[in-house]
Amino acid sequence: MITSLFFFYSFLCFVLLISECFSSSFDHHLCSPTEASALLQFKQSFQHRSEGYCSYRCYGGCYPKIKSWNESRDCCSWDGVTCDLLNGHVIGLDLSCSLLPGSIHPNSTLYQLHHLQTLNLAYNDVYPSSIPHNIGGLTNLRHLNLSDAWFQGKIPTEISYLSNLVSLDLSNSYALELDEKTFETMLHNFTNLEVLSLSQVIISSPLPVNISSSLRHLDLKHTNLLGVLTESFFLMPNSLETLKLSGNLRLEGVFPKRNTLLTELDISYTGISGELPDSIGNFSSLKYLNLQQCQFSGSIPDSIGNLTQITALDLSYNHFTGRIIPSTISKFKHLTLLDLSSNSFSGEIPDVFSNLQKLRYLDFFNNSFIGPFPASILSLTRLEHLGLSSNSLSGPLPSNTRTLPKLIHLDLSYNSLNGTIPSWVFSLPLLYSVSLQHNRFRGLADEVIKTNPTLKELHLSNNQLSGSFPQSLANLTNLETLGISSNNITIDEGMNITFLSLSSLFLSSCQLKHFPHFLRNVNTLVYLDISNNKISGQIPNWFSGMRWDSLIFLNLSGNSLTGNLPQFRYDNIGYLDLKFNSLQGPLPSSICNMSKLILLDLSHNYFSDSVPHCLGSMGLLTALDLRRNNLTGSLPPLCAQSTSLSTIVVNGNQFEGPVPVSLLKCNGLEVLDVGNNAINDTFPAWLGVLQELQWLTSCKCFWKLRGNDQIRW
Ligand SMILES: *[C@@H]1O[C@H](CO)[C@@H](O)[C@H](O)[C@H]1NC(C)=O
Ligand SMILES: *[C@@H]1O[C@H](CO)[C@@H](O)[C@H](O)[C@H]1NC(C)=O
Ligand SMILES: *[C@@H]1O[C@H](CO)[C@@H](O)[C@H](O)[C@H]1NC(C)=O
Ligand SMILES: *[C@@H]1O[C@H](CO)[C@@H](O)[C@H](O)[C@H]1NC(C)=O
Ligand SMILES: *[C@@H]1O[C@H](CO)[C@@H](O)[C@H](O)[C@H]1NC(C)=O
Ligand SMILES: *[C@@H]1O[C@H](CO)[C@@H](O)[C@H](O)[C@H]1NC(C)=O
Ligand SMILES: *[C@@H]1O[C@H](CO)[C@@H](O)[C@H](O)[C@H]1NC(C)=O
Ligand SMILES: *[C@@H]1O[C@H](CO)[C@@H](O)[C@H](O)[C@H]1NC(C)=O
Ligand SMILES: *[C@@H]1O[C@H](CO)[C@@H](O)[C@H](O)[C@H]1NC(C)=O
Ligand SMILES: *[C@@H]1O[C@H](CO)[C@@H](O)[C@H](O)[C@H]1NC(C)=O
Ligand SMILES: *[C@@H]1O[C@H](CO)[C@@H](O)[C@H](O)[C@H]1NC(C)=O
Ligand SMILES: *[C@@H]1O[C@H](CO)[C@@H](O)[C@H](O)[C@H]1NC(C)=O
């Protein structure tokens, strides 16, 4: 950039003749007129186009840099333009995050700026543009950055002429293609190249073995690399510090045996497999190692403890086995992320976490760990995520008063933890979600649970909690999701609990005898499951009268409800399950108001009379189950106005008359069961028509007229 003194001179130039300016003693400070004109033409090529998009990667926001370019000032002072102070040539153009309004023509005067050393068009949307052949003319380029600019098409071989490049970033444009030869040239012949980022470029060729010794950072994520990552790639003299090969599923090979300089190695989501070699201890500079979702097996060599600089270690979703050695893991003093999820690690989790004070993310999900919850985890003052779900941990949780001040997610579900749940579990200051479902907890510790405004999700289902609903949970007034299904819990009718923002309540398979009264204070309900309880009697008026506009899922099945089906006022409901109750009487026509129904299950009740015809015209209904009721009359005209139904079961009623011809339009039908009714139709005549229909070949339909009288097709 140039000082304000030059602004003054550039202004002067418009007063004087430009040529005179050049002959003045300051001429070498001024923008070359041909380059100024090239830049202005570049600007004009966007005329009458509205501004482009701002990538989410532009943390500092976006603004249209070229908008302010005009002749009244020297081009060296224009936004994004850098000149050589000695000769006034434009040597740098940074138009990243500047809302470039659309495509750049291959002829663009931009590519005439032959003195450019830096060109950055990153984070714009210049679609549809290709990288032109004349990019090869910009041989002075040291830094070329077209990242996330949505260039497309073949990268021209002329890019090989840019042998002075120090950094080249063509990442994240998603539709750029690079041929094998040019790829090799970039890696091998660019002898000054330090940074090469081709992430998301379609390369589809093998990784060359011979790479320039200048390369320090190589990013080839999601490039469809083929072949084998050979040992020789790492044996070449090189100074690679970061190597990112993630997302190349067809890249095979084994973990490299030797490289001492790498600080970052990401081979996640590749076909690289085998065991980790003992020599992994030689990678002593490694700070980041990501092996997620490869095919690694065997145990972790002790020498991994040599990686004392490591800050992130992700071994998740492999086939690793064996124990975690305490003395090994306790050496990772800089570790912020440790993910061992979805492997077959076994033995106890070493209780050595007090040495890992920088940990922020810890996940051992889905392994075979046994033994107690490692209490030293509670000393981790920076931990944000703790997941030990789906192991075989047993015994009680430690009781502890002050702990885990940064924890946001706690997931200990699917273990065999027992005892009472200590109150710290609910009271950590930043906690958002707690998952303790599928354990053997017997109750909550007899401690005060204070209001916790951050806690939104609490999962306690499938434990052995018993007695009345824990009053101490009533202080968690901001809960949005509460799961206590499959516990021995009751809710006293008089219990006054206020969950103002509750949207999902799972209270299935408990011992409820009444509809939970506290729901009267809740109007944000989306999902309610109180199935398989001991609720008897009629559906109370207060319940059916609630204006739950956001309610989408309601499951009252498996109770002992009696009386008529009331007129619900949940007009947006998608799933209504009332099966296995003792409801009776006719189906109210108000059911027709539930026009968003996807599943309607009224089976195994005593509903009678004829069915409202609107059931034939519900636009989204895919499953209708009316089996085992006492319904009469003719079947509604199913699929008459919509073809979404895939399951129709009306078995075991007293429907009569013919099967509605409208069924021919149910082109996604998978199950049709009209058996055990008084339907009188001549089946073969039907079949004749149905066989003409294509959908029949994929339909697992069966036709049932009497008892076991089934015809499949
Ligand atoms: C030229 O640019 C300057 C600042 O960049 C601005 O103040 C001025 O209004 C512009 N002039 C014209 C004619 O666009
Ligand atoms: C592009 O440049 C070539 C030669 O320089 C010229 O013949 C052609 O007309 C130009 N095309 C456009 C669209 O400007
Ligand atoms: C490319 O430019 C963007 C935006 O300025 C920057 O974030 C990114 O690091 C650059 N790439 C390289 C390799 O320098
Ligand atoms: C790359 O370098 C090799 C020798 O190292 C040479 O044979 C080849 O011609 C060069 N390729 C280009 C495109 O410069
Ligand atoms: C790698 O490239 C260098 C420089 O072009 C060359 O000297 C060396 O022989 C090559 N090595 C292999 C194994 O191809
Ligand atoms: C650990 O690293 C040192 C050098 O930092 C090396 O000498 C030693 O062999 C390594 N140990 C293992 C077990 O890899
Ligand atoms: C809790 O689990 C531990 C370890 O499995 C067991 O020894 C203990 O008896 C259990 N306690 C209760 C009350 O079930
Ligand atoms: C369920 O809790 C009640 C008391 O609320 C108790 O009498 C009963 O034994 C418990 N049942 C089970 C299976 O724990
Ligand atoms: C609710 O929290 C308050 C303090 O925030 C406490 O005094 C009270 O005992 C708590 N109630 C229950 C039932 O735990
Ligand atoms: C239940 O609690 C709410 C809010 O705390 C209060 O407004 C309401 O009066 C209470 N109802 C009963 C029956 O105690
Ligand atoms: C079914 O309906 C018939 C006649 O409509 C009636 O006689 C019978 O009692 C009903 N059965 C039940 C269980 O409601
Ligand atoms: C079935 O319907 C036909 C006419 O549609 C009638 O002739 C016949 O008697 C009926 N059979 C029975 C068993 O109701």
Q: Is 185 helix (H, G, I), strand (E, B) or coil?
A: helix
Ligand 1 centroid distance, CA of 348 (Å): 70
Q: Please, which pLDDT band fits residue 391 given cuts at 50, 70 and 90? A: very high
H-state helical runs in 352-399: none
The mean per-residue pLDDT over the stretch 67-80 comes to: 94
* Dist. CA 493–CA 490, nearest whole Å: 9
CA distances to 31, 602, 604, 675 from 627, rounded to whole Å, are: 84, 8, 6, 9
Q: Are 609 and 584 in contact (CB under 8 A)?
A: no
| Range from 186-200, 292-306, 682-696 carrying the lowest mean pLDDT | 682-696
**Position in ligand 6 atom list of the atom nearest CA 302:** 13
Q: Label residue 401 by pLDDT band (50, 70, 90).
A: low
Ligand 3 atom at minimal distance to the Cα of residue 58: 4
* Residue 419 C-beta-side C-alpha neighbours within 13 Å: 15
Q: Ligand 1 site: residues with CB under 6 angstroms?
A: 68, 70, 72-73
Q: Cα–Cα distance between 535 and 559 in angstroms, integer?
A: 5
Mutational test site, ligand 8, from 465, 487, 488, 510, max ligand atoms within 8 Å of CB: 488
CB of 589 shorter than 6 A to ligand 10: no
What is the three-class DSSP state of 643?
coil
**pLDDT > 90: what percent of the chain?**
73
Is the C-beta atom of 446 inside 6 A of ligand 9? no
Residue 132: HSE in the Cβ half-sphere, 13 Å Cα cutoff: 15
Query: Binning pLDDT at 50, 70 and 90, where does residue 25 land?
Result: very low
Q: What are phi and psi of 542, to 5 degrees?
A: -60, -35
Task: Give the C-alpha separation, 609 to 214, whole Å.
Answer: 84
Q: Measuring from atom 12 of ligand 4, which residue has the nearest CA?
A: 185
Centre of ligand 2 from the C-alpha of residue 44, in Å: 16
Smallest CA-to-CA distance from 76 within 96, 93, 90, 95 is with 90
Q: Is the pLDDT of residue 671 over 60?
A: yes
Cβ of 498 below 6 Å from ligand 10:
yes
The verdict on whether omega for the bond into residue 128 sits within 30 degrees of 0, i.e. cis, is yes
Residue 237: predicted pLDDT: 67
Q: Atom 14, ligand 8: which residue's CA is nearest? A: 488
pLDDT of res. 569:
87
Pocket test for ligand 1, best of 65, 66, 68 (most atoms within 8 A of CB): 68
Ligand 9: which atom is nearest the Cα of residue 475? 1
Mean pLDDT of 648-673: 83
| Residues 585-594: tens digit of each pLDDT | 999 988 888 9
Q: Is 467 in the pocket of ligand 8 (CB under 6 A)?
A: yes
In Å, how far are 96, 166, 171 from 93, measured between CA atoms? Answer: 9, 16, 19
| Domain boundaries, given as residue ranges, for the chain | 267-395
Cα–ligand 5 centroid distance for 211 (angstroms) = 8
The 10s digit of each residue's pLDDT in 77-106 is: 999 999 998 999 999 999 999 999 999 999
At 676 the pLDDT is 83
- How far apart are the C-alpha atoms of 239 and 370, rounded to whole Å? 43
Distance of alpha carbon 502 from its chain centroid, rounded? 24
- 396 CA distance to ligand 7 middle (Å): 8
The answer to whether the beta carbons of residues 590 and 614 sit under 8 Å apart is no
- CB of 451 within 6 A of ligand 9: the answer is yes
Place of tokens 């009697």: 537
pTM: 0.86
With bands split at pLDDT 50, 70 and 90, how would you rate the model's confidence at 20? Answer: very low
- pLDDT digits 0-9 by tens, 232-281: 887 776 789 999 999 999 999 999 987 778 999 999 999 999 999 999 99
Pocket test for ligand 9, best of 444, 447, 449, 496 (most atoms within 8 A of CB): 449
- Residue 558 CA, ligand 8 centroid: distance in Å: 19
CA of 122 to the centre of ligand 3 (A): 7
Please identify, by atom number, the ligand 6 atom nearest to the C-alpha of residue 279: 14
Cβ–ligand 6 distance for 306 under 6 Å, the answer yes
Q: Whose CA is nearest to atom 6 of ligand 3?
A: 122
Q: Measured from the CB, is residue 449 less than 6 Å from ligand 9?
A: yes
- Is residue 500 in contact with ligand 10, taking CB distance under 6 Å? no
Query: From ligand 5's centre to the CA of 231, what distance in Å?
Result: 15
pLDDT of 133 higher than 90: yes
Does position 197 have pLDDT exceeding 70, yes or no?
Answer: yes
Instruction: Check residue 29 and give its pLDDT.
Output: 52
Please tell me the distance between residue 281's alpha carbon and the centre of ligand 9 in angstroms.
52
CA of 424 from ligand 9 middle (Å) equals 14
Take residue 322 and report the two structure tokens written for it. Answer: 């064996």
630 Cα nearest atom in ligand 11: 1
The alpha carbon of 418 and the centre of ligand 7 are apart by a number of angstroms equal to 6
Ligand 10 pocket test, pick from 521, 522, 523 with the greatest ligand atom count within 8 Å of Cβ, gives: 521
Query: Per-residue confidence at 70, pLDDT binned at 50, 70, 90?
Result: very high
Q: What is the pLDDT of residue 13?
A: 41
Nearest CA to ligand 4 atom 6: 189
Report the CATH architecture of 267-395: Alpha-Beta Horseshoe (3.80)
Residue 656 beta carbon below 6 angstroms from any ligand 11 atom: no
Question: What are the structure tokens assigned to 90, written together?
Answer: 């434009």
Percent of residues in the chain assigned helix, strand, coil, to nearest 5: 20, 25, 55
Whether residue 492 has its Cβ less than 6 Å from ligand 8 = no
Number of Cβ within a 10 Å radius of residue 154: 13
Give the pLDDT confidence score for residue 619 in this predicted structure.
87
What secondary structure does DSSP assign to 7-50, as a single string? HHHHHHHHHS-HHHHHHSTTGGGSPPHHHHHHHHHHHHTTTT--
Q: How far does the centroid of ligand 1 lie from the alpha carbon of residue 73, in Å?
A: 8
Which residue has a Cα nearest atom 8 of ligand 7? 395
Which residue has 């021209």 as its token pair? 156
Q: Distance from the CA of 642 to the center of ligand 8, in angstroms?
A: 48
Q: Which atom of ligand 8 is nearest to the CA of 466?
A: 2
CA dihedral 539→545→548→553, nearest 10 degrees, is: 20
* pLDDT tens string 593-602: 899 999 999 9
Which range (21-25, 281-285, 553-557, 615-619) has the least confidence? 21-25
Q: Is 560 in the pocket of ligand 10 (CB under 6 A)?
A: no
Give the pLDDT confidence of 470-495 residue by residue, as tens digits.
888 989 999 999 999 999 999 988 77
**Pocket lining: 450 vs ligand 9, CB cutoff 6 Å:** yes
Q: Report whether pLDDT(463) > 60.
A: yes
Q: How far apart are CA 254 and CA 273, in angstroms?
A: 5
Confidence of residue 584 (pLDDT cuts 50, 70, 90): very high
pLDDT reading at 27 higher than 60: no
Spacing, Cα 282 to ligand 6 middle (Å): 5
Query: Mean pLDDT for the chain?
Result: 89
Residue 423 to residue 439: CA distance in whole angstroms? 17
Nearest alpha carbon, ligand 11 atom 1: 630
> What angle is formed at CA 670 by the lines to CA 666 and CA 674, rounded to 5 degrees?
80
Q: Atom 10 (ligand 3): residue with closest C-alpha?
A: 145
Query: For a substitution probing ligand 11, which of 581, 607, 609, 630 has the most ligand atoms within 8 Å of its CB?
Result: 630
Residue 17's pLDDT is 39
